[in-house]
Amino acid sequence: MRQSSLFTKTLRDSPKDEVSINARLLIRGGFISKVMAGVYECMPLGLRVLNSINAIIREEMNAIGAEELHMSVLQNKDTWMKSGRWSAAKEVMYQFQDPGGRDIGLGWTHEEPLTAVAKHFISSYKDLPKAVYQIQTKFRNEPRAKSGMLRGREFLMKDLYSFHADEEDLNRYYEIVARAYEHIFGRVGLDARRTIAAGGLFSKYSDEFQVLSEVGEDTIFYCTECRYAVNIEVVSDFGLKSVCPECSGALAQGKSIEVGNIFKLGTAFSEAFDLTYVTGNGDKRPVIMASYGIGPGRVMGAVVEMRHDEKGIMWPDSIAPYSAHLIALGKEKSTHDAAEKLYAALQKSSIEVLYDDRDATAGEKFADADLLGIPYRLVVSEKTIKNREVEVKRRNEEKLNMVKLEDIPKLLLNSRFFTYA
């Protein structure tokens, strides 16, 4: 992509009411644009990041046998009356009457409609287990939405629902999903700890995936030696003091961002909706369920919070909007010809490259490169071209490397492949 053609430009300022670092950097970089508190539009650069996050999530979900579907935003009051959450959740669920007087809600989670639809397809033990997921826009009334992409009133969510014949099978799949979540967070560049947390309405405990960060809204106790972690809300249940019950390491306390959670729902929804199956012996039993969430937009915001400096963002290779930011400096035709040739060669190698072909100063181009945070900066100038070289800099390193023009595609070809954290 030529930067001169890009729909967005970097901006000097973000809106005055925007206090979160993730939103400020993402807005200044042209990744997102603000509509109102907690509501952002995703510009082309931001969509590229989100698409990469979603592609990683889809790969891991498909690998554990989950099928993708897409539920509706508009929700039927009758369906939500069955679980009692039409009233119980009215603080978070946008509810209104359409001009015809029909009560409508906006989906903020999808246990109810998913259980309702599963009744069409699950009736026998032969139909179990099943797992379906979606990546879909959800809505929650958040009175104080001040954390940018970390807490939105409109936000993308990956929600997975699984259906099982018995608790043993539920527990088996729950652990498979937990491992998939660890893969996902590792691949997007987040160090997320599986954390014991409160279970909400339907079970005593759940598991959250928490990233230690000063801007987080949660507080966790975590082991400084192993991966053990417990949300402060349930710490008293475990009688935790200063020593890790798993490895005897020292426990510490810290703020954290919740980037995922997994819940055992048991039969709470299947009983409300009479979702049952017939066993091999002809008995009728309620289906056992679980649900599992990740917010891809929140992941994007958390990555920015964890990986930035005073100049801008530092995207991990796996979700960067482009692998390389090619910058041509100066006005000499030979330099620009070399840059055009390199741009063509990179595209031919299917390397995603943003090419700064604008008529701008070196200072402006470098400042934009630091703000946008693309992993490899490639500078072509009269000086580098003299030796048929390119100045290569990783966004998160200071070192400048001179690399031969012809070696650049090879250098970049593996850059988007992940390494597990």
Q: Which is nearer to a second copy, 275 or 385 (CB)?
A: 275
Q: Which tokens hold the place of 410?
A: 């090879």
By CB under 8 A, residue 82 contacts a second copy: no
CA distance 251 to 195: 13
DSSP structure string for 152-212: -SEEEEEEEEEEESSHHHHHHHHHHHHHHHHHHHHHHT--PEEEEEE-TTS-SEEEEEEEE
Q: How many CA atoms are closer than 13 Å to the CA of 301, on its beta-carbon side?
A: 30
Rounded to a whole number of angstroms, the minimum distance from the CB of residue 51 to a second copy is 9
By CB under 8 A, residue 15 contacts a second copy: no
By CB under 8 A, residue 267 contacts a second copy: no
By CB under 8 A, residue 16 contacts a second copy: no
By CB under 8 A, residue 68 contacts a second copy: yes
Rounded to a whole number of angstroms, the minimum distance from the CB of residue 102 to a second copy is 8
Strands of 267-347, DSSP E: 276-278, 284-286, 288-294, 308-309, 312-313, 324-328
Q: Applying CB under 8 A, what is the total number of residues that bind a second copy?
A: 54
CA distance 186 to 408: 27
Contact yes or no for 92/140 (Cβ under 8 A): yes
Query: Which string of x and - marks every residue 127-166 that binds a second copy (by CB under 8 A)?
Result: ---x-x----x-x-x-x---------xx------------
Backbone angles phi, psi at 380, to 5 degrees: -115, 120
Rounded to a whole number of angstroms, the minimum distance from the CB of residue 28 to a second copy is 11
CA distance 119 to 320: 41
Residue with token string 């008293």: 236
By CB under 8 A, residue 74 contacts a second copy: yes
Q: Which tokens hold the place of 144?
A: 């104080």
Q: Which is nearer to a second copy, 113 or 199 (CB)?
A: 113
Residues 22-41 that bind a second copy (CB under 8 A): 30, 33, 35-36, 39-41
By CB under 8 A, residue 310 contacts a second copy: no
Q: Which is nearer to a second copy, 5 or 281 (CB)?
A: 5
H/E stretch holding 24 reads helix 21-28
Burial code of 216-241, b = ≥16 C-beta within 10 A, e = fewer? Answer: bebebbbbeeeebbbbbebbeeeebe
By CB under 8 A, residue 117 contacts a second copy: yes
By CB under 8 A, residue 113 contacts a second copy: yes
Choose which of 24, 64, 94, 249 interacts with a second copy (CB under 8 A).
94
Query: Which string of x and - marks every residue 219-248 that binds a second copy (by CB under 8 A)?
Result: ------------------------------
CA distance 307 to 313: 6
Q: Which is nearer to a second copy, 118 or 320 (CB)?
A: 118
Could you list the residues that contact a second copy (CB under 8 A)? 4-9, 11, 30, 33, 35-36, 39-44, 46-47, 50, 65, 67-76, 79, 91, 94, 96-100, 102, 104, 113, 117, 120-121, 126, 130, 132, 137, 139, 141, 143, 153-154
